[in-house]
Amino acid sequence: MRATEKISTPTLLLVLFLSACTAPPRAAPSGISAASVASSRPSEKIAQVEHGLLPPVRIQGETVPWSIEERMRAYRVPGLVVAVFEDYRVAWTKAYGAADVSTGARMTEDTLMQCGSISKSVAAAVALEEVRAGKLSLDADINTALKSWKVPESELARRTPVTLRRLLSHTAGITVHGFPGYATDEGVPSLRQVLDGQGPANTPAIVVDLLPGSKFRYSGGGISIVQQAVLDVEGGQPYPRIAAERVLGPWGMTHSTYEQPLPSERLAFASAGHMFGKPIPGKRNTYPEMGAAGLWTTAGDLSRFFIEIQRALGGRESHASKEIATLMTTRVAEVGPVQDVSLGTFISKKGDAEYFGHGGSNLGFEATALARKGKGYGAVIMANSNGSELLFDELLRAIAHEYRWEGYDEAPVERKTLDIARVTPFVGRWTDGGALAFELAVRDGRFERRFPMHDPEELVPTGDGHFVGRESGTRLRLTADNSVELGDEKSPRRLSRVTSDAATPIFLLETPDRFDDAVAAFRKRLSADPKDVAASERTLDGIGWNLLGKQHDAAAIRVARLRAAVHSDSPAAYEDLGEMYAWMGQRAQATEAYRFAIAVMNRSALATAAEKAAFAARMEKKIRRAAPP
Contact 461, 468 (CB under 8 A): no
Q: Which residues contact 67 (CB under 8 A, 6 or more apart)?
A: 50, 51, 53
The predicted structure's pLDDT at residue 610 = 83
pLDDT in tens, 526-540: 999 998 888 999 899
| Alpha-carbon gap, residue 529 to 435, rounded angstroms | 13
Domains, the chain, ranges and CATH?
Answer: 113-403 (3.40.710.10), 420-498 (2.40.128), 505-626 (1.25.40.10)
CA separation (Å) from 390 to 62, 76, 97, 555?
A: 20, 12, 18, 22
Determine if the peptide bond prior to 29 is cis (ω within 30°). Answer: no
Helix axes 118-132, 299-313, angle to 10 degrees: 50
Question: DSSP assignment of 404-427, as one string?
Answer: T-TT--PPPBPPPPP-HHHHGGG-
pLDDT the model gives residue 629: 64
Cα–Cα dist 91/195, whole Å? 41
Q: What angle do CA 67, 72, 78 make, to 5 degrees?
A: 140
Contact criterion met (CB below 8 Å) for 366 and 76: no
Q: Are 70 and 89 in contact (CB under 8 A)?
A: no
- C-alpha–C-alpha distance, residues 487 and 481, integer Å: 17
In this structure, the dihedral spanned by the alpha carbons of residues 259, 125, 224 and 574, taken in order and rounded to 10 degrees, is: 70
pLDDT tens-digit readout, 565-580: 999 999 999 999 999 9
**C-alpha angle 291-4-535 in degrees, rounded to nearest 5:** 145
Q: What is the spatial distance between Cα 345 and Cα 93, in angstroms, rounded to a whole number?
A: 23
What strands, in cross-sheet order, belong to the sheet with 346-350? 105-106, 89-100, 79-86, 378-383, 365-372, 353-362, 346-350, 339-341, 333-336
The DSSP call for residue 627 is S
Q: What is the mean pLDDT of the chain?
A: 90
pTM of the predicted model, to two decimals?
0.88
**More confident call, 53 vs 19:** 53
Residue 357 pLDDT > 80? yes
Strand partners, 561: none
Q: Which residues pair with 467 in a beta bridge?
A: 461, 476
pLDDT classification of 611: cutoffs 50, 70, 90: confident
CA dist., res. 132 & res. 250, Å (int): 15
Between 482 and 46, name the one with better pLDDT: 46
Cβ-in-10-Å burial (0-12, 13-18, 19+) of 28 comes to middle
- Banded model confidence at residue 434, pLDDT cuts 50, 70, 90: confident
Q: What gap in Å lies between CA 19 and CA 415, rounded to an integer?
A: 24
Q: Is the pLDDT of residue 337 over 90?
A: no
Neighbours of 348 (CB within 10 A): 18
Q: Report pLDDT digits (tens) over 221-250.
A: 999 999 999 999 999 899 999 999 999 999
Rounded Cα distance, 456 and 438, in Å: 10
Which of 192-195's residues contact partners 24+ apart within 8 Å by CB, and which partners?
192/148, 192/149, 192/228, 194/224, 194/288, 194/289, 195/149, 195/221, 195/224, 195/225, 195/228
**Backbone torsion region of residue 251, taken as left when φ is above 0, otherwise alpha when ψ lies between -120 and 50, otherwise beta:** alpha
525's CB contacts (< 8 A; 6+ apart) are 502, 505, 532, 534, 535
CA distance 54 to 35: 10
Burial 403-425 (b: 16+ CB within 10 A, else e): bebbebeeeebebeebeeeebee
Q: In terms of Cα–Cα distance, which of 360, 185, 190, 363 is closest to 260?
A: 190
> How many CB atoms sit inside 10 A of residue 334's CB?
13
User: Which pLDDT score is estimated for 273?
Assistant: 98
Q: For 358-370, how does the pLDDT look when each residue is reduced to its tens digit (9 = 90+)? A: 999 999 999 999 9
What distance in Å separates the CA atoms of residue 336 and residue 218, rounded to the nearest whole number? Answer: 13
